[in-house]
């Protein structure tokens, strides 16, 4: 045989154990934050039509859901409230007995060690569906900050472990950091939706949270999907203002951004595997076109490989179960 000199990469792929030995990226149950949609009323458990397997649940049914989450080894949930009443300034977001505040207390009553991430925004609570104060058809930045601070403080008072502002108003991190500190919550971290694009992938979420804007869109405060450098400007601003985690949202079509932010910033990076990403997989799997488990594991592993330390995902329970069975 002729003398040849080439690299034999296949040596490290020769068996399942060999591949596992040299695997660079791993998924763990502890990597995930599981979203919960909490509604008012009693004995409410309604499947979201565009998100099979995901439910709006009422406070009195949370215990069963929490039991499963904890049993699977998931360490954190993110809470989204779906109130009955809305008004022009989103009063329900910062009411002491708002739906997220009550849901936080319910989590802590049953599982004090389970981390509660409180989504801090106004869109689910405003009758116009925008993430801030609206005047003459314009979303006002600075006027919205005051309400967002009240919301964050109220959530911390209810027992939230992490405040996650998702509104994309300029200055929201420094305003909330100052408000939390002034209220005695200096140790509560901020998980900032630092890089949040104005994306078509959010469609199913807006059904789940009943939060679609009633006029216009959110392009004046969420980012243009075509922009890359803007993501780094946003991330650096939030770091300077006091963020403790940085969220990139969406994830699947923005893994270049996840990697950019990871390379530039030395905070934990959170990828939000959003509703549209979830629903596309579910729809394809329901039609028998893909292997759901294989696709989900591959896509979430890709998010971690791109640089995500944590992943907010509607697949979290499924993946945690699959990891146990592996």
- In this structure, what token pair is assigned to residue 147? 């309400």
Considering the domain boundaries, does residue 59 fall inside one? Answer: yes
Q: Is 314 annotated as a binding residue?
A: yes
Considering the domain boundaries, does residue 21 fall inside one? Answer: no
pLDDT in tens, the chain (326 residues): 566 889 999 999 999 999 999 999 999 999 999 999 999 999 999 999 999 999 999 999 999 999 999 999 999 999 999 888 877 767 778 888 999 999 999 999 999 999 999 999 887 788 666 666 777 777 788 888 999 999 999 999 999 999 999 887 889 999 999 999 999 999 999 999 999 999 999 888 767 656 555 655 566 778 999 999 999 999 999 999 999 999 999 999 999 999 999 999 999 999 999 999 999 999 999 999 999 999 999 999 999 999 999 999 999 999 999 999 97
CA 121 – CA 147 distance, rounded (Å): 9
CB 86 within 8 A of CB 140: no
* Strand positions, DSSP E, 191-244: 191-196
Neighbours of 96 (CB within 10 A): 9
Which whole-number Å values give the CA distances from 75 to 36, 57, 92, in the listed order?
A: 13, 20, 27
Q: Is 121 annotated as a binding residue?
A: yes
Considering the domain boundaries, does residue 3 fall inside one? Answer: no
Catalytic residue list contains 249: yes
- In this structure, what token pair is assigned to residue 135? 């005047």
Annotated active-site residue in 150, 196, 262, 282: 196
Considering the domain boundaries, does residue 210 fall inside one? Answer: yes
Q: Which residues contact 273 (CB under 8 A, 6 or more apart)?
A: 250, 251, 252, 299, 300, 303, 311, 312, 313, 314, 315
Using DSSP, state whether 201 is helix, strand or coil.
helix
Residue 222 carries which DSSP code?
S
pLDDT score for 218? 64
Considering the domain boundaries, does residue 2 fall inside one? Answer: no
Catalytic residue list contains 196: yes
- For the chain, how many structural domains are there in total? 1
Element (H, E) at 92: helix 91-94
Neighbours of 286 (CB within 10 A): 11
Considering the domain boundaries, does residue 10 fall inside one? Answer: no
**Distance, C-alpha 228 to centroid of its chain:** 20
- The string of DSSP codes covering 21-57 is HT------GGGEEEEEEEESSSS-EEE-TTSTT-EEE
Domain ranges, residue 231? 26-325
pLDDT score for 132? 67
User: Which residue, 287, 314, 311, is CA-closest to 301?
Assistant: 311
pLDDT score for 92? 75
Q: Is 123 annotated as a binding residue?
A: yes
pLDDT score for 24? 95
Q: Is 218 annotated as a binding residue?
A: yes
CA 319 – CA 300 distance, rounded (Å): 9
Residue 138 maps to which CATH number? 3.20.20.70
Annotated active-site residue in 86, 150, 249, 282: 249
CA 231 – CA 242 distance, rounded (Å): 17
Considering the domain boundaries, does residue 53 fall inside one? Answer: yes
Q: Is 13 annotated as a binding residue?
A: no
Considering the domain boundaries, does residue 17 fall inside one? Answer: no
pLDDT score for 142? 85
pLDDT score for 197? 95
């Amino acid at each position: 045989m002729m003398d040849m000199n080439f690299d034999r990469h296949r040596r490290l792929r020769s068996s399942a154990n060999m591949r596992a030995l040299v695997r660079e990226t791993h998924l763990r149950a502890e990597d995930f934050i599981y979203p919960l949609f909490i509604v008012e009323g009693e004995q409410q458990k309604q499947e979201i039509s565009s998100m099979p397997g995901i439910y709006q649940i009422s406070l009195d049914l949370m215990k069963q859901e929490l039991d499963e989450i904890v049993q699977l080894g998931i360490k954190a949930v993110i809470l989204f409230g779906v109130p009955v009443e809305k008004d022009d300034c989103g009063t329900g977001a910062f009411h002491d007995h708002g739906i997220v505040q009550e849901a936080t207390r319910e989590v802590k009553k049953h599982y004090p060690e389970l981390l509660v991430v409180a989504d801090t925004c106004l869109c689910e609570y405003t009758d116009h569906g925008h993430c801030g104060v609206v005047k003459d058809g314009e979303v006002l930045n600075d006027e919205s900050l005051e309400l967002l601070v009240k919301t964050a403080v109220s959530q911390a008072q209810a027992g939230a472990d992490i405040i996650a502002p998702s509104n994309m108003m300029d200055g929201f991190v420094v305003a909330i950091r100052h408000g939390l500190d002034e209220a005695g919550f200096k140790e509560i971290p901020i998980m900032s939706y630092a890089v949040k694009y104005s994306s078509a992938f959010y469609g199913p979420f807006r059904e789940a949270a009943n939060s679609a804007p009633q006029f216009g869109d959110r392009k004046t405060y969420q980012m243009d999907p075509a922009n890359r450098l803007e993501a780094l400007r946003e991330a650096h601003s939030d770091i300077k203002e006091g963020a403790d985690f940085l969220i990139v949202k969406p994830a699947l079509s923005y893994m270049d951004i996840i990697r950019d932010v990871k390379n530039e910033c030395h905070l934990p990076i959170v990828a939000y595997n959003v509703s549209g990403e979830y629903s596309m997989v579910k729809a394809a799997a329901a039609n028998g076109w893909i292997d759901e488990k294989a696709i989900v594991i591959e896509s979430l592993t890709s998010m971690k490989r791109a640089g995500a330390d944590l992943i907010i995902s509607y697949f979290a329970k499924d993946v945690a179960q699959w990891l146990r069975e592996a």
